[in-house]
């Protein structure tokens, strides 16, 4: 079964969210505001792309010793490393910016509408 | 006889067990990872796979903060099993391969990744063991 991923960029870093876990994507304050299936919300600077079937590698012992954020794993997108988000426990680096939630502009993309 | 790759990180010399060294390449482009500890510079792409990259000087407690100055990345493997976990070590230069008899490696000031100290090229060098470090980290 193929899995689509939404690639997100924030503060220069690249993150991947499984498409099935994304309920809604809206433009917000010059960036994008995402709602995940579990109810979590994320803010990113931009949607960097969509990828199908990223090869997801488990986070190894070195990464776990030095970085304590939850993640499903790591992958490469267009030659750049990215962190694959655990939708049940999103990283703090993608936490909504203060004042960003609830002020979303009209939707630019809804995964439910696409389906 | 144990063979090591000598690497310079700032003012410090480090000896990496040669069997843990997979490749030495020009310094990889590293993408910072928010929330990472100081020694983890971030992630890079190597051979099509994501690679955690550490700053060697910080790893051995010899300062660091040389962001952008590293000229090589030592791609090292942890353990002998396949597939082994690999990690990148940013350093200033890879010098040469030396042989250090086990009897010449002393405990020295053990901390973190350091497995001991020895003399090489007329200088004291930190002997590293990445596998042991991750096992206790």
Q: Is residue B29 part of a domain?
A: yes
B122 CA: distance to closest CA in chain A (Å): 32
Cα→Cα distances A98→A103, B2, B133, Å: 11, 55, 39
Contact A81 B40 (CB under 8 A): no
Q: Which of B8, B3, B4, B2 is nearest to B92 (CA)?
A: B8
Residue B134 lies in a domain: no
Does residue B116 register a pLDDT over 50?
Answer: yes
Q: Is residue B46 part of a domain?
A: yes
Determine whether B26 is exposed, middle or buried from the number of CB atoms within 10 Å of its CB (0-12, 13-18, 19+).
Answer: exposed
Q: What is the pLDDT of residue A58?
A: 94
Q: Band of the pLDDT at B137, cuts 50, 70, 90?
A: low
* B33 with A67: Cβ contact below 8 A: yes
Quote the ipTM score.
0.82
Residue B137 is assigned to a structural domain of this protein: no
Q: Which residue has the higher pLDDT, B136 or A96?
A: A96
Does residue B53 lie within any of the structural domains? yes
> What is the percent of chain A where pLDDT is above 70?
83
CB spacing of B34 vs A91 below 8 angstroms: yes
Asked if B33 is an interface residue toward chain A (Cβ–Cβ < 8 A), one would say: yes
Domain presence at residue B55: yes
pLDDT tens per residue, range A53-75: 899 999 998 899 899 999 999 99
**A17, B123, B131 from B76: Cα distances, Å:** 29, 23, 10
Report yes or no: B137 at the A interface, CB cutoff 8 Å.
yes
- The pLDDT of residue A28: 83
Residue B131 has pLDDT above 50, yes or no: yes
Question: What does DSSP assign to residue B88?
Answer: E
At residue A114, the pLDDT reads 44
When the pLDDT of each residue in chain B is averaged and rounded to a whole number, the result is 86
Q: Region B104-123: what's the mean pLDDT?
A: 77
Q: Is residue B73 situated within a structural domain? A: yes
For residue B114, name the pLDDT band (cuts at 50, 70, 90).
confident
Of B35, B49, B87, the CB nearest to A62: B87
Locate B87 and state its tokens: 């990690």
- Per-residue confidence at A1, pLDDT binned at 50, 70, 90? low
Range of the domain at B76: 2-128
Give the CATH number, domain containing residue B66.
Answer: 2.40.50.180
Residue B133 belongs to a domain: no
* CA–CA separation, A106 and A60 (whole Å): 40
Taking the Cβ of residue B134 and every Cβ of chain A, the question of whether any pair is shorter than 8 Å is answered with yes
Q: Which two tokens stand for residue B25?
A: 């390449």
Model confidence at B135, pLDDT cuts 50, 70, 90, reads: low
Check CB contact under 8 Å for A76 and B35.
Answer: no
**Cα–Cα distances in Å, from A36 out to A3, A72, B39?**
16, 15, 32
For residue B6, the model assigns a pLDDT of 96
CB pair distance less than 8 Å for A81 and B78: no
Which range has the worst mean pLDDT, A62-66, B21-25, B46-50, B88-92? A62-66
Q: What average pLDDT score do residues A80-99 get?
A: 92
At residue B110, the pLDDT reads: 53
| Least-confidence region, from A23-27, A38-42, B111-115, B123-127 | B111-115
Q: How many domains does chain B have?
A: 1
pLDDT in tens, A11-37: 999 999 999 999 999 998 889 999 999
């Amino acid at each position: 079964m193929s899995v689509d991923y939404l690639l997100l960029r924030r503060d220069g870093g690249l993150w991947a969210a499984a498409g099935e876990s994304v309920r809604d994507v809206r433009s917000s304050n010059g960036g994008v505001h995402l709602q995940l299936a579990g109810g979590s919300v994320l803010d990113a600077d931009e949607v960097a792309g969509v990828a199908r079937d990223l090869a997801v590698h488990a986070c190894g012992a070195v990464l776990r010793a030095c970085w304590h954020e939850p993640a499903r794993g790591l992958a490469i997108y267009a030659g750049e490393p990215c962190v694959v988000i655990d939708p049940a426990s999103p990283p703090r680096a993608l936490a909504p910016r203060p004042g960003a939630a609830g002020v979303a502009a009209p939707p630019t993309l809804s995964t439910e509408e696409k389906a | 006889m144990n063979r090591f790759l000598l690497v310079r990180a700032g003012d410090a010399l480090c000896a990496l067990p040669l069997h843990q060294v997979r490749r030495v390449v020009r310094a990889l482009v590293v993408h910072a990872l928010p929330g990472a500890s100081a020694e983890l510079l971030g992630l890079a792409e190597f051979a099509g796979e994501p690679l955690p990259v550490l700053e060697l000087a910080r790893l051995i407690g010899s300062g660091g903060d040389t962001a952008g100055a590293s000229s090589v990345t030592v791609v090292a493997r942890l353990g002998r099993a396949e597939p082994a976990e690999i990690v990148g070590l940013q350093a200033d230069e890879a010098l040469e391969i030396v042989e250090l008899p086990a009897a010449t490696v002393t405990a020295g000031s053990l901390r973190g990744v350091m497995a001991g100290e020895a003399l090489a090229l007329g200088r004291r060098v930190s002997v590293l063991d990445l596998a042991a470090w991750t096992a206790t980290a």
